[in-house]
Structure 1
């Protein structure tokens, strides 16, 4: 247990900064914390947060799984060029990935939940742990609308698994509010959103959703809905 950081998290709760504006929250954390990172997957939410943080001295990073959509790479490139920022990139360990593919094949994640979770671990979870190692605050684009598993989340929370403070500034935003800000500020966004893709991950594991389907229906659509998490965000 990182007791020092946990105590600092308790101070955040005591100071009740969840009710402050995003700008005030960022001012608070940059004043009281040094090692702050923001993870982006170039979703609507992450693009809005990137826009809001573009002038802050906060590291932005992404996980390149090697199987992202071409539209995701295009959004990534456009974002870097428009805002003149650097986005640090973390990739899977080559030996782990090559061993997995050699032993089980390139698309074995369709065959079992165990295989799919192993693929997610190698391509996302392990690189994430490297990215947030020794960091104090991890800013995310999570929203409560994303998944039933996230309805009990708070804007600031203690991530026991990763021993880090998570800051979810858009947690209570509606999709329409996020899109309005994207449009108003002419923020680059993934064009797959215009084709029915809502939650966008790796290309083989993501499809457009149909009218009336759940937000997460397009992710790992061949699995039971209750299993649809990749392990990056674990809530107990």
Structure 2
């Protein structure tokens, strides 16, 4: 159970063996910290899945490293939630990782509202490059991906070889449903982003996140009226 899988030592058979021994989400989290210790970081968006994982991780490692990609374009409600989580879990090391370019510098270099003219480049500058830096000193990272979220996430495993970041991506909640997430939040009385109560199931940057209507997919409000469906963090 303590096999330390790395990007460079990845072995499909060994990973499958380890996954067979991981019975559920909590065993995955315990394995992650028993195996990697300080060599793993949780990249948290502080959505509904995020607050669940923060609570679960805190039960295993009180001083875990949590990284939030602070694009400078998040809703005020998201920043307010982060402060609530810091108060609730003061021992966790929550870092707000900013891009190398400020919004003004990005405007000067690439023009106004890059998220409209070239959303992929905007995500590259404000999310992918900062996460690349955050993961440069660690072997593994934890993500709140769930298979139910979208077709592009339906084949995610507990342990994944991340080609983009040359890392190991650990996803404890792959089998959770949206109902499971909210049952856990309510049962444990966790704080959450109040935008969820206003039909924002998936919350990113405010220029690219919209209200979901009717029976639309949970991620339908992300980059609405666009062919873009992912920021690129989870695309190898």
- In the superposition, the TM-score normalised over structure 2's length comes to 0.89
| 1:137 is the counterpart of 2:140 | yes
Distance 1:174 1:119 in 2: 30
Q: Which moved more, 1:184-193 or 1:12-21?
A: 12-21
Deviations 1:128-184 (A, max 9, x none): 001111311110011112221111221211111211111111111100010000000
Q: Is the 8 A contact 2:29 2:172 kept in 1?
A: no
Give the equivalent residue in structure 1 for 2:64.
58
Residue 93 of structure 1, aligned match among 84, 100, 116: 100
Given the superposition, is the C-alpha separation of residues 202 and 4 from structure 1 closer, same or farther in structure 2, using an over 3 Å criterion?
closer
Give the equivalent residue in structure 2 for 1:156.
159
| 1:40 is the counterpart of 2:44 | yes
- Aligned ranges 1:146-225 → 2 under 5 Å: 146-224=149-227
Given the superposition, is the C-alpha separation of residues 195 and 128 from structure 1 closer, same or farther in structure 2, using an over 3 Å criterion?
same
Give the equivalent residue in structure 1 for 2:229.
228
Gaps of 5+ in 1: none
Distance 2:191 2:125 in 1: 29
Q: Is the 8 A contact 1:18 1:155 kept in 2?
A: no
Distance 1:9 1:47 in 2: 32
Q: Is the 8 A contact 2:73 2:205 kept in 1?
A: yes
Q: Is the 8 A contact 2:19 2:158 kept in 1?
A: no
Deviations 1:14-64 (A, max 9, x none): 223564233322332323224011011110001000001124042111110
* Aligned CA-pair RMSD: 2.0
